[in-house]
Amino acid sequence: MAADDFVRIVRLVDENGNYIATLPVSLAAGEISIGAIELKDGITDDRAEVTPDLRLSTNANQQVGDADVNNANPVPVDATGQGDVPVTLDSEQVDVSDRVARDLGKVNVADVDGFDSVKGQKAMTESFPVVLPSDQASVPVDATVVTSGGAGATIGVTTGAKVVTDGVGTVQQYLRGLVTLVAAKIGITVADGDNAALGTTTGAAVVTDAAGSVQQYLRGIVKLLISIISVKIDQTTPGTTNKVWADPVTATPVTYNVTLTVADTEYSQAMPANCRAFEFQARTDVAIRAAFVTGHVAGPAAPWITLKAGDYYYSFDLNQEAAPSTLYLGSAIPGTIVEIIAWV
């Protein structure tokens, strides 16, 4: 059979559209042949009289127009007034009664029932569903992520392993790695010879009950210490134990005279508040008894101290603040005067 030859089986229907017979039509060597009508099983000859009006538009040379009949120039079949005409092609039946089937490969979306054609970006209910092929390359998507769980919902996987090196990973893995690194560095060890600064070093000193950083509080402590004490360190001989001495603020002297009118009787003198030091002596060349607790100098009753005639007592540096000591005095010589100097 030549490339342009063909064989077609035309299915014939009655006025009600019922299939009743087939009509073979073929083209061989440029000649069209029409075979005998073959009735469908159960169809009688009287029904076969309802034969469609089929007209083959060819000339005497078996041509359509000026061209030979072939696949590129087929014979038109006119079945006007006969309703639907099923045609069998290569054992595959195509119902040409529907426009969409007639225009295979040229379907207009607007002709599909129940589906309006749209253009541009529309709502989901008005858009085409699209299924990507399994081998589709990555497609960039610009979208807003909305979590179905509302506030506090979890987005993405939560079990990815931490990434603590310059390696590939997800955002969750990098964040997990970052937390691991920070947790490991909270306890910082500085080796000998290393220099390290933890946090800011320029915060202002905090010297009151106010909010601040650790650095600000430490700076405030140093400032307070400097304001109340002057410390000097003897470093004349490097490598030896240094001497540290404090130079207190210059004190104001306060003078007292206590007369021991009656012999072997207890008299007292309270030191002033914030007393830093004191000394005392007898004005005349007599011995006196002294104590810092009542009930020991009159009798006398131990313990007490004896300040011998012509001697004096010095307390060295004190810091008694608002609760100073009280000095208790007594003597065997009536009328003895005790002179006291206290520094505040």
What are the average pLDDT values for consecutive 10-residue runs of the chain, which has 344 residues?
64 78 74 75 57 44 52 59 52 44 53 58 73 82 66 72 89 86 72 68 88 87 80 61 57 93 96 91 96 92 93 87 89 96 92
Domain assignment present for residue 337? The answer is: yes
Domain assignment present for residue 168? The answer is: no
Q: Are residues 258 and 229 in the same domain?
A: no
Q: Are residues 40 and 56 in the same domain?
A: yes
Domain span at residue 274? Answer: 253-343
Select from 83, 102, 121 the last residue of a domain: 102
DSSP of 104-162: TT---GGGSTT-----SS--GGGS------TTPPP---------TT-TT---S-S-PPP
Domain assignment present for residue 208? The answer is: yes
Domain assignment present for residue 107? The answer is: no
Residue of 293, 298, 254 whose CA lies nearest to 277: 254
Q: Are residues 239 and 287 in the same domain?
A: no
71 DSSP 8-state letter: S
* pTM, full prediction: 0.32
Q: Are residues 217 and 274 in the same domain?
A: no
Q: Are residues 241 and 258 in the same domain?
A: no
**Cβ(334)–Cβ(262) below 8 Å:** yes
Any idea what the Cα angle at residue 262 is, between residues 256 and 267, rounded to 5°?
40
Q: Are residues 261 and 324 in the same domain?
A: yes
Q: Are residues 34 and 10 in the same domain?
A: yes
pLDDT score for 291: 95
In a 13 Å sphere around the CA of 25, the CA atoms on its Cβ side amount to 20
Q: Are residues 98 and 14 in the same domain?
A: yes
CA distances from 43 to 16, 53, 276 (A): 14, 19, 140
pLDDT score for 6: 61
Domain assignment present for residue 185? The answer is: no
The pair of structure tokens assigned to 107 is 């379907």
CATH of the domain at 294: 2.60.120.770
Contact partners, residue 145, CB within 8 Å, separation at least 6: 155
End-to-end CA distance of the chain: give it in Å, rounded. Answer: 136
pLDDT score for 88: 47
Question: In this structure, are strands 63-64 and 67-68 parallel, antiparallel, or unpaired?
Answer: antiparallel
Q: Are residues 266 and 339 in the same domain?
A: yes
pLDDT score for 90: 46
**Cβ(256)–Cβ(342) below 8 Å:** yes
Q: Are residues 97 and 19 in the same domain?
A: yes
Domain assignment present for residue 174? The answer is: no
Q: Are residues 232 and 319 in the same domain?
A: no
pLDDT score for 196: 64
pLDDT score for 257: 97
Q: Are residues 95 and 10 in the same domain?
A: yes
Residue of 285, 244, 290 whose CA lies nearest to 267: 290
Domain assignment present for residue 162? The answer is: no
Select from 247, 280, 306 the last residue of a domain: 247
Radius of gyration of the chain (CA): 61
Q: How many domains does the chain have?
A: 3
Select from 77, 102, 127 the last residue of a domain: 102
Q: Which pairs count as long-range contacts for 102-109, CB under 8 Å and 24+ apart, including other chains?
A: none
In a 13 Å sphere around the CA of 38, the CA atoms on its Cβ side amount to 10
Domain assignment present for residue 147? The answer is: no
